């Protein structure tokens, strides 16, 4: 994840310090762990809930 | 009328006096502006006070009413607007350094509607930076203090709005709620906060990046349930400028006030959020459930199979949708964000698209399960926040005490104070926070009353019945205006 933050740092011209890169990488990793639980759900045949779907507004 | 009388005013009560020409909008506006001048330096609820505009609007209202052109119950009523909602000619900062000097050349639809209804806008209220948090400890515009205890937070992100309503610095406020941001501060400041059904109130003019597109809602803060119904009637409805607004007809919400609630089935929502709920809040909430029972409602405990996944769906959705709105500023002005806010948006840029789509697929499952649940019960209830209002210093240090257990105020699931509120941001179902008691610290506790899409009328009936059976909403914070 640290590599990804470093790439972002270069692409966005952020001038992040090593410490800041570390903090952001840790935060992104924690997110990935949390989101991993979503991939364990059986979503066969389930379409994404998109709010642009007019049915969501009925 | 004097400054002390402001504490007992409500929108419905003042509207009756204004329409009968017993009270002048100019006089009322003057009293509120005086009070803001006295109290705001201590509370920091407003970031911009528009005194000249307010006086001009009040004069116009007075003249119209004198000539028999009364517009309705918001005519001449003093309001505030959260500072992430665009106001033409008035600075709109979104609590950020980046927009510190932005003066929109248009009004948000809710502001247009308030003006058309004849409301008097007193100013713009403080919020968490970019509305991304629940404390309203803002590094650029200062901390908003809780009127009940100045050492404690007002909640957030609409902390300024809630503090202003509680401290009689306005009678109603318009905020936004993408995770908790109307209900949480309403609970912490002892006022009523409504997040209506997704799309019920237009979001046109809410600053992009101050809430995820699919989770954010324009919300209302007032002193009682009837006032909220009055304001929703004026602000709800389809808006051609907001493609996500709902085209359902707007109900006459005030007619649901006083309707019988006997026999209604209420489900106490159980789930993951209980791990950050203190015994004190649980006891106060269950006492409120007893009151609902005495009012003739049937109470049972309910949950849904995928309840535990709500934080993952919410965080994934919010991060991606919010980050997309900040991309340009992150490239050009990343140092104009506070470090925690900038870091959160940068981490969000690393969420894979597959995770976002998976979150939306699981979200549909969760929504279907909530629809199913609401075939068994008509109302859902749970505390608005799991713990009493924290001290500012605790929030700054990042820790909370939950019955002797030290927990982080913010973890990978977001703010711990938002965990009870987010089911209704993920589903888009309407939810209202009403005062339901006081903690040992003499600060307010709130409970949420929620229902299915566009069932606001049911919520109003239940919340109003509860309000009539209690007096929590009538209590006012000990503000010294001598």
pLDDT at B2: 78
Taking contacts as CB-CB distances below 8 angstroms, the residues of chain A near B350 are: 1, 4-5, 8, 28, 31
* A39/B351 Cβ within 8 A: no
Going by C-alpha positions, the residue among B354, B349, B321 that lies closest to residue A43 is B354
pLDDT beyond 90 at B264: yes
Q: What is the pLDDT of residues B87-142, one digit of tens each?
A: 999 999 999 999 999 999 999 999 999 999 999 999 999 999 999 999 999 999 99
Going by C-alpha positions, the residue among B160, B164, B235, B163 that lies closest to residue B201 is B235
* B306/A35 Cβ within 8 A: no
Contact B273, B386 (CB under 8 A): yes
Which residues are CB-neighbours of B373 under 8 A, at least 6 positions away?
B267, B302, B304, B380
Degrees to nearest 5, angle at CA B163 with B381 and B136: 85
Segment among A49-53, B144-148, B257-261 with least mean pLDDT: A49-53
Q: Averaged over B152-179, what is the pLDDT?
A: 98
Q: What is the pLDDT of residues B366-418, one digit of tens each?
A: 999 999 999 999 999 999 999 999 999 999 999 999 999 999 998 889 899 99
Q: Averaged over B205-216, what is the pLDDT?
A: 96
Q: Which of B306, B361, B398, B410 to mutate to test the interface with A (most CBs of A within 10 A)?
A: B361
Task: Provide the pLDDT confidence category of residue B333 given band limits of 50, 70 and 90.
Answer: very high
pLDDT beyond 90 at A52: no
Task: Provide the pLDDT confidence category of residue B464 given band limits of 50, 70 and 90.
Answer: very high
Going by C-alpha positions, the residue among B118, B19, B129 that lies closest to residue B78 is B118
- The answer to whether the predicted template modeling score (pTM) of the entire model surpasses 0.90 is yes
Task: Provide the pLDDT confidence category of residue B210 given band limits of 50, 70 and 90.
Answer: very high
Task: Provide the pLDDT confidence category of residue B479 given band limits of 50, 70 and 90.
Answer: confident
pLDDT at B67: 96
* B349/A8 Cβ within 8 A: yes
pLDDT at A22: 97
pLDDT beyond 80 at A57: no
Which residues are CB-neighbours of B270 under 8 A, at least 6 positions away?
B301, B302, B303, B307
What's the mean pLDDT when you consider all of chain B? 96
Taking contacts as CB-CB distances below 8 angstroms, the residues of chain B near A34 are: 311-312, 315-316, 412-413
pLDDT at A51: 63
Above 0.90 for ipTM, yes or no? yes
Contact B253, B233 (CB under 8 A): yes
Among B residues 271-310, those touching chain A with beta carbons less than 8 Å apart: 306, 308-309
Secondary structure E strands in B164-292: 172-177, 192-195, 217-222, 265-269
- B133 HSE (CA, 13 A, CB side): 29
Sign, Cα dihedral of B338, B405, B441, B79:
positive
- DSSP bridge partners of B123: B49, B80
Rounded to an integer, what distance in angstroms lies between the CA atom of residue B105 and that of residue B191? 32
First to last CA, chain B: 15
Contact B181, B175 (CB under 8 A): yes
Q: Identify which of A8, A23, A49 has the shortest CB distance to residue B367.
A: A49
- DSSP bridge partners of B138: B142
User: Looking at per-residue confidence, does B481 or B286 come out higher?
Assistant: B286
CB-CB neighbours of B420 under 10 Å? 31
- Joined together, the tokens standing for residue B122 give 């007193």
Which residues are CB-neighbours of B3 under 8 A, at least 6 positions away?
B31, B34, B35, B38, B481
pLDDT beyond 80 at B224: yes
Rounded to an integer, what distance in angstroms lies between the CA atom of residue B307 and that of residue B358? 16
Q: What is the pLDDT of residues A1-44, one digit of tens each?
A: 999 999 999 999 999 999 999 999 999 999 999 999 999 999 99
Task: Provide the pLDDT confidence category of residue B481 given band limits of 50, 70 and 90.
Answer: low
């Amino acid at each position: 994840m640290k590599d990804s933050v470093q790439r972002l740092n270069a692409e966005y011209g952020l001038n992040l310090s090593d410490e800041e890169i570390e903090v952001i990488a840790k935060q992104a990793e924690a997110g990935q762990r949390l989101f991993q639980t979503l991939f364990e759900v059986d979503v066969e045949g389930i379409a994404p809930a998109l709010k642009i779907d007019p049915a969501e507004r009925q | 009328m004097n400054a002390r009388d402001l504490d007992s005013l409500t929108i419905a009560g003042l509207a009756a006096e204004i329409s009968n020409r017993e009270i002048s909008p100019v006089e009322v506006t003057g009293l509120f502006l005086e009070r803001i001048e006295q109290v705001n330096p201590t509370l920091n609820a407003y970031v911009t006070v528009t005194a000249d505009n307010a006086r001009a609007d009040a004069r116009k209202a007075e003249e119209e009413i004198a000539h028999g052109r009364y517009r309705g119950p918001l005519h001449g009523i003093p309001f505030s607007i959260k500072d992430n909602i665009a106001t033409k000619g008035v600075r709109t900062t979104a609590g950020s350094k980046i927009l510190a000097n932005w003066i929109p050349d248009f009004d948000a639809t809710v502001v247009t509607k308030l003006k058309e209804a004849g409301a008097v806008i007193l100013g713009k209220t403080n919020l968490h930076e970019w509305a991304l948090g629940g404390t309203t400890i803002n590094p650029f515009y200062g901390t908003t203090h809780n009127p009940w205890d100045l050492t404690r937070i007002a909640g957030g992100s609409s902390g300024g709005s809630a503090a202003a309503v509680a401290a009689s610095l306005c009678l109603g406020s318009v905020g936004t709620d993408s995770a908790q941001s109307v209900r949480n501060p309403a609970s912490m400041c002892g006022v009523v906060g409504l997040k209506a059904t997704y799309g019920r109130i237009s979001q046109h003019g809410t600053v992009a990046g101050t809430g995820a597109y699919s989770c954010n809602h324009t919300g209302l803060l007032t002193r009682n349930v009837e006032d909220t119904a009055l304001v929703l009637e004026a602000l709800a409805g389809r808006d051609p400028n907001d493609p996500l607004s709902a085209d359902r007809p707007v109900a006459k919400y005030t007619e649901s006030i006083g309707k019988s609630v006997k026999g209604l089935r209420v489900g106490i929502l159980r789930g993951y959020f209980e791990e950050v709920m203190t015994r004190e809040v649980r006891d106060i909430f269950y006492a409120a459930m007893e009151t609902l029972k005495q009012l003739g409602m049937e109470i049972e405990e309910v949950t849904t199979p995928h309840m535990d996944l709500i934080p993952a769906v919410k965080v994934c959705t919010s991060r991606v949708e919010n980050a997309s709105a900040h991309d340009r500023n992150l490239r050009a002005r990343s140092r104009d964000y506070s470090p925690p806010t900038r870091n959160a948006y940068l981490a969000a840029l690393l969420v894979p698209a597959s995770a976002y789509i998976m979150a939306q697929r699981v979200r549909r499952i969760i929504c279907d399960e909530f629809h199913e649940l609401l075939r068994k019960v008509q109302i859902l209830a749970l505390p608005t926040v799991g713990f009493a209002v924290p001290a500012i210093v605790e929030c700054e240090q990042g820790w909370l005490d939950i019955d002797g257990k030290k927990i982080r105020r913010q973890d990978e699931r977001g703010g711990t104070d938002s965990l009870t509120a987010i089911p209704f941001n993920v589903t888009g179902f309407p939810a209202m926070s009403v005062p339901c008691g006081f903690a040992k610290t003499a600060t307010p506790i709130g409970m949420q009353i929620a229902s299915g899409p566009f069932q606001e009328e049911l919520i109003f009936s239940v919340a109003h019945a509860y309000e009539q059976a209690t007096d929590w909403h009538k209590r006012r914070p000990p503000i010294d205006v001598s």
